[in-house]
Amino acid sequence: MLEPFTREEKIRILNTLGVDIPADSKLLDSILEKRLCAALDAAQYKDRLPASMNIKTLRPWPMIESGQGGTTSTRPRPLAKAVQRRTLADARQAGPSLPAAENEETMAIGNPFEDFRRTIRAIARVLDKGGRWCLLRDDSEDRNKIMFRFIAILEVTKNLPLFVVLYQAADQETQGSTEDWVLEQLKTDPPSSSPALSNISSSPLEQKMILKVLKQNSSLVPTDYEVDRQPLEAHFKVSMLIPVGPLEYEAVSKLNNNMGCSVCGKSGGYRCKGCQSVSYCSAECQRTDWADHKAACRSLKDATWRTARLSAASPGKENTTLTLVNRHTSMSLPGAQGSAPMTKQFFLSDGLVHPDVYGGDMFLAKMQLQTAAQRGRGHIMLYDRRMTFVAFLREDKDREVFREFVEEMQGPRGYMGVRMHRWVKRTGNWELSVCLDREPATDVKW
């Protein structure tokens, strides 16, 4: 049977999800476990599920019936398309469509989370072809397997199917019962095309992740949910599979925040007041770390700080609504009751001042250059990790400071000449003090 996750495996999975935890992180095991659970929930976009969802009241997904060999009296809606989950960055990188070849869908990649996404697509292909079971197997050793039989495919929205499954993990000791179960499925529910379609390659680490997701999702299935078990399925468990995709903005920013006390690994209660670059759980830990930290801390105090006078809107956009999206915004999955991606909106008016939720403390702001065809109308958009604040540094309002910011972005501390993250502090309703020439100590993921 598969061994429990090691600490290194948890960190690897979090890294593939976009949560950058160093291999030598001091984060406590209990905190690491909570972060992994939260990341796996976020990858399934569970916040989109209706709060009071009862799967017994959901209607079936329109699809090919088992054993019909590709024909149906209803109008099926392809699951292979419905399970796609892509952010804006994903869409730009992958192009308009995902791989269609069967061998591309059933072959492991090596990145455990990308393999999980591929497995969900492969399962959708099995179901679209009328199959109702599959076997995940480790091709490298053929030792670890997971048997799946799909009890129901339900519709939350037109883009959100749920798969209710009976499943059982198996290993070499249970090889005989696994083969018996597969033979039974081949008799009662033979694949409409190649039998290989129901065999999906899955590494041991991916299987561990899938089993963890199934355990977390089991609470979504009511205890009185009726399941028709076959004779060999007495010990199978019931749970649910939900399509997975890249973490969105809010999850990425939240899960990459507060990496624990830099001394002991406990949850960091506050950041160093001098530089904001490290977290501590107590004054005692901060004193212990001061000898090693003071040089870096003092370098931020010696940095160049600039006052940026901001506006609520970019040129010509006053009193309009801004919809804020970035590379982590999902372009394929709507909210539970709507059809548009989840976004943040701001009405751009100097009269609507954003509250200072940081209480005068420093916080990180993202700054992104927008050039304009008309000379003198360039601007830089600024917003914070929590999306509580958005404003614009305009060339036509503060030309000299705008020029300094552009030069910094286009220098070695900027990103591709158009973006940077910097520590800032609110000094007025539409004014920030910006630490211009010091990068954040850690890589910023939002």
Q: 420: which 2 tokens?
A: 């940077």
55 Cβ neighbours under 8 A, 6+ residues apart: 152, 154, 162, 164, 220, 221, 222, 225, 240
Give the pLDDT mean for 241-247: 94
Give the pLDDT mean for 226-242: 95
Under 8 Å between Cβ of 395 and 376: yes
Q: 185: which 2 tokens?
A: 């499925």
pLDDT of residue 422: 93
7, 59, 340 from 344: Cα distances, Å: 35, 31, 12
Count the helix, strand and coil residues of the chain and give each as a percent rounded to the nearest 5. Answer: 30, 20, 45
Q: Which amino acid is at 326?
A: N
32-36, 219-223, 238-242, 299-303 — which is least confidently predicted? Answer: 299-303
Residue pLDDT, tens place only, 40-52: 999 999 988 998 8
271 beta partners: 279
DSSP single-letter state for residue 281 = S
Q: 409: which 2 tokens?
A: 């972005």
Whose CA is closest to 356, among 393, 384, 397, 394? Answer: 384
Q: Is 222 helix (H, G, I), strand (E, B) or coil?
A: coil
d(Cα 319, Cα 312) in Å, to the nearest integer? Answer: 9
d(Cα 200, Cα 107) in Å, to the nearest integer? Answer: 7
pLDDT higher than threshold 70 for residue 135 = yes
Percent of all residues in the chain with a pLDDT value above 70, rounded to a whole number: 82
Domain ranges of the chain: 44-247, 303-446
Under 8 Å between Cβ of 204 and 138: yes
Residue pLDDT, tens place only, 163-191: 999 999 987 777 778 999 999 999 888 77
pLDDT higher than threshold 70 for residue 348 = yes
Give the pLDDT mean for 223-249: 93
pLDDT of residue 333: 56
Residue pLDDT, tens place only, 24-72: 888 889 989 999 999 999 999 998 899 889 999 999 999 866 554 444 4
Q: Exposed, middle or buried: residue 226 (CB in 10 Å: 0-12, 13-18, 19+)?
A: exposed
Residue pLDDT, tens place only, 402-412: 999 999 999 99
149 Cβ neighbours under 8 A, 6+ residues apart: 132, 133, 165, 166, 167, 185, 230, 233, 236
